Amino acid sequence: MKFLDEFRNSDLTGKYLQAIKATIRQPWTIMEICGGQTHSILKYGLDQMLPDEITLLHGPGCPVCVTPIELIDMAIGIAGQPNVILCTFGDMMRVPGSDGNLLDARARGNDIRMVYSPLESLKIAENNPDKRIVFFGIGFETTAPTTALALKKAKKNRFDNYFVLSAHVRVPPAIELILSSPENRVQAFLAAGHVCTVMGYREYIPIAENFHVPIVVTGFEPVDILQGICMAINQLERGAAAVENQYSRVVSENGNSMARKLIDEVFETTSRKWRGIGEIAGGGLSIKPDYAAYDAARVFGPVVAKVEESPRCLSGKVLRGLIKPPECPAFAVDCSPANPLGAPMVSAEGACAAYYNYSISRQGPIGG
């Protein structure tokens, strides 16, 4: 496939690796923000290829992992109400709520459907006028415009049986939180390429300056990630701290202005609890009053969630890059994709799942 295969080329990755080795003089710690990047790193074994001086930490860029347990419980509660069809991305189906997940809820007979796009859930609303269709809107700023588009179309066409439960989250506040923490070890970031495709990278410039960290907007294929790391190492060795754009074939400084306009029309910034991390000011997107009639949170009212997180789940530390999944005592012992203690072991992008599924060194704390 064009624009994919070339960026998986082994000659090219070999050459970028040489460039990294030629440039690096001392140990550095880099965090890739996006779960998709983590997935790619482990699937292709890029971590095996990098010199030991580079420590890769895995960031909180997995919207599935950080969706608060209260919202999952709420989605399950809504799905249990009469005449409701809950639509969700496949990603959310196995994430544990307080009492089971959406897959369990579907097994109990609730109408829960997987969709590839929020626009499909809109079609379901159109074809089922006697039902209430609720779309579980998860994702970062990449996905927010697609949800916003569905809401705008719902309003335009007066699909009054269509609702969205917004769990959208924003990246920049999370980066600032990580950098502000006294435990922070991150010295450079690979920023999320597809989030920046929509938002551009202007928001990252003051962060790079204020915290003096290089931020390289990076793509997802092996060549992209290695070039991104190469650019970050180069800055680190020179003592620079700027925002650079590796993913320039798709990302521009201002991003997609139409998509950003759509987001602004439908959503407003709000404080949001990130699962495992805590409340992040400005960390979420909620639906504006203009679209209140379509806001599932308002319409279906607060659902009382008995919130029970496993005290043994260290996902908060994993998401902030403080530990790696195999360093967690529960990893591959009591916590696995079949029996997850928390979200990062379940999400396709979760760091814990990526290590479990791909990494040849996934033995966990008890060794081989």
Partner 1 sequence: MCLAVPGRIIEIAGADIERTAKVEFGGVVKQISLAVLPEACPGDYVIVHAGVAISRINEDEAKRVFKFMEQAAAANDESLSKDEISG
Partner 2 sequence: MKKQPDNRAVPMSAPACPVPPTNYENILLAHGGGGKLTADLIEKLFLPAFGDPALDERHDGAEINIGRIRLAMTTDSFVVTPLFFPGGDIGRLAVYGTLNDLAMCGARPLFLSAAFIIEEGLPLKTVHQVADSMGKAAKSSGIRLITGDTKVIERKSGNDLFVTTTGIGIIEHGLKISPQSIMKGDKIILSGDIGRHGIAVMACREGFEFETTIESDCAPLWNQVEIMLRENIEIHCLRDLTRGGLATALVEIAETSGLRLEIEESLIPVSDQVAGACEILGLDPLYVANEGRFICFVPEKQAGAAIGLLRQSAPNAAIIGQATDTPKKDYSNIRVVMKTPLGTSRIIDRITGDQLPRIC
Q: Please give the residue ranges that form the binding site for partner 1 (CB under 8 A).
A: 1-4, 6-7, 12, 15-16, 18-19, 22-23, 34-36, 61-63, 89, 116-120, 139-140, 142-143, 145-146, 149, 152-153, 156, 192, 194-195, 197-198, 223-224, 227, 230-231, 234-235, 238, 240, 244, 246, 248-251, 256, 258-259, 262, 349
Residue 269 bridge partners (DSSP): 285
Here the tokens at position 203 are: 């928001």
Residue among 41, 73, 40, 44 at smallest CA distance from 55: 41
- The CB-of-134 to partner 1 minimum distance in angstroms stands at 17
250 is an interface residue for partner 2 by CB under 8 A: no
363 binds, among partner 1, partner 2, none (CB under 5 to 8 A by kind): partner 2
161 close to 155: Cβ distance less than 8 angstroms = no
Number of residues forming the site for partner 2 (CB under 8 A): 53
Does position 3 bind partner 2 by CB under 8 A? no
Smallest gap from residue 104 Cβ to partner 2 (A): 7
For the bound state, the minimum distance from the C-beta of residue 215 to partner 2, rounded and expressed in Å, comes to 21
Distance separating alpha carbons of residues 307 and 276, to the nearest angstrom? 12
Residue 241 · residue 209 · CB < 8 Å = yes
309 binds, among partner 2, partner 1, none (CB under 5 to 8 A by kind): none
Beta-carbon contacts of residue 5 (< 8 Å; ≥ 6 apart): none
The partner in contact with residue 103, picked from partner 1, partner 2, none with C-beta cut-offs of 5 to 8 angstroms by kind, is partner 2
DSSP state of 182: T
Contacts for 170 with CB less than 8 Å, ≥ 6 apart: 140, 141, 269, 282, 283, 284, 285
User: Smallest gap, in angstroms, from Cβ of residue 107 to partner 2?
Assistant: 5
Of the pair 98, 269, the CB lying nearest partner 1 is at: 269
Q: Compose the 93-122 pattern: x for residues touching partner 2 by CB under 8 A, - for all others.
A: xx--------xx-xx------x-x---x--
Cα–Cα dist 126/137, whole Å:
18
Start-to-end CA distance of the chain, whole Å, equals: 39
Spatial separation of the C-alpha atoms in residues 105 and 107, rounded to whole Å: 5
CB of 98 to partner 2, least distance (A): 15
Please name the residues in contact with 194: beta carbons below 8 A apart, sequence gap of 6 or more. Answer: 34, 36, 142, 220, 250
CB of 286 to partner 2, least distance (A): 20
By CB under 8 A, residue 307 contacts partner 2:
no
- What percent helix, strand, coil does the chain show, rounded to 5? 45, 20, 40
Out of 2, 4, 22, 156, which residue is the one contacting partner 2 (CB under 8 A)? 4
Task: For residues 164 and 167, give the distance between their C-alpha atoms in angstroms, rounded to a whole number.
Answer: 9
Give which of partner 2, partner 1, none residue 43 binds (C-beta under 5 to 8 Å, depending on kind): partner 2
Instruction: Report the residue number, 166 or 305, with the smaller CB distance to partner 1.
Output: 166
Amino acid found at 29:
T
Asked if residues 157 and 128 have their Cβ atoms less than 8 Å apart, the reply is: no
**Cβ proximity to partner 2, 49 vs 240, nearer residue:** 49
328 sits in the region (left: phi over 0; alpha: psi -120 to 50; else beta) called beta
* Residues near partner 2 (CB under 8 A): 1, 4, 8, 10, 13, 35-36, 42-46, 48-49, 62-64, 89-91, 93-94, 103-104, 106-107, 114, 116, 120, 138-139, 143, 222, 332-334, 336-339, 347-349, 357-364, 366, 368
